[in-house]
């Protein structure tokens, strides 16, 4: 039955990822992959929050299902390579450095937010 929790989370995460990317491209254009950046940062924060939760079911639903479908390392890698190959080497470096720094900051903030007072 645990697989249903993963499927339910993924059924929400995948469309959210798609919609976020579409909205970001419409709003900011094609310069930097803001949609992928946004979903990866949000997913990092949610996974950080889950460190304070002991429920295996919640981890399956939100961690494995939702975040697994929402976040994307492969698209991040592809978009960064595409920026580089298209001559936007500075944007490629900015995408890597920004994604790493902000993603780590988001997971840290999630962990800190989940800590009991």
Q: Annotated binding residue at 71?
A: yes
Q: Annotated binding residue at 9?
A: no
Buried b (16+ CB within 10 A) or exposed e, 18-36: eebbeebeeeeeeebbbbb
User: Closest Cα partner for 48 from 62, 69, 37, 61?
Assistant: 62
CB 77 within 8 A of CB 33: no
DSSP one-letter code for 52: T
Instruction: Determine the Cα–Cα distance for residues 26 and 67; give it in Å rounded to an integer.
Output: 23
**Binding-site positions for Na(+):** 68, 71
**Binding-site positions:** 68, 71
């Amino acid at each position: 039955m645990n697989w249903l929790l993963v499927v339910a989370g993924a059924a929400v995460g995948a469309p959210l990822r798609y919609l976020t990317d579409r909205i970001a491209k419409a709003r900011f254009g094609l310069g930097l992959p803001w949609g992928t950046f946004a979903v990866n940062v949000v997913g990092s924060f949610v996974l950080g929050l889950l460190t304070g939760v002991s429920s295996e079911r919640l981890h399956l639903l939100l961690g494995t299902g939702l975040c697994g479908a929402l976040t994307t390392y492969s698209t991040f890698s592809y978009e960064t390579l595409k920026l580089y190959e298209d001559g936007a080497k500075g944007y490629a470096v900015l995408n890597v450095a920004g994604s790493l720094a902000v993603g780590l900051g988001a997971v840290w903030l999630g962990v800190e937010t989940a800590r009991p007072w």
